[in-house]
Amino acid sequence: MNADLDFSYAPDIYSFDSWHDKFNMAEKIQTVLKGKRAQLMQRGKGKLAMLMSTMPIVVQIGENVFVHGGLTPETISHGIDELNQDVAKWLRKDTDVKPWLLDPVPKGGRTVSPLWERVYGMPIVPETALSNLDGMLDKLDAKRMVVGHTPQKYGISGVETDKEKEVWRIDTNLNDKIMGRVECLEILTDLDSPEAASTVRVLSEDGRIIDAQKRKNMFEELLRSQSKTETAVPAPLRS
pLDDT (0 to 100) of residue 27:
41
What is the value of pTM for the model shown?
A: 0.79
C-beta of residue 158 within 8 angstroms of C-beta of residue 166: yes
Distance CA 108, CA 90 (A): 25
CB neighbours of residue 10 within 10 Å = 12
pLDDT (0 to 100) of residue 100:
82
C-beta of residue 119 within 8 angstroms of C-beta of residue 138: no
Please state, for a pLDDT cut of 90, what percent of the chain lies above it: 41
**Each residue's pLDDT tens digit, 49-106:** 999 999 999 999 989 999 999 998 888 888 999 999 999 999 999 999 988 888 777 6
Q: What is the mean pLDDT of the chain?
A: 79
Better-predicted residue by pLDDT, 34 or 28: 34
Question: Which runs of consecutive H residues, i.e. helices, occur in the chain?
Answer: 20-23, 34-40, 47-52, 73-78, 80-92, 127-139, 212-215, 220-225
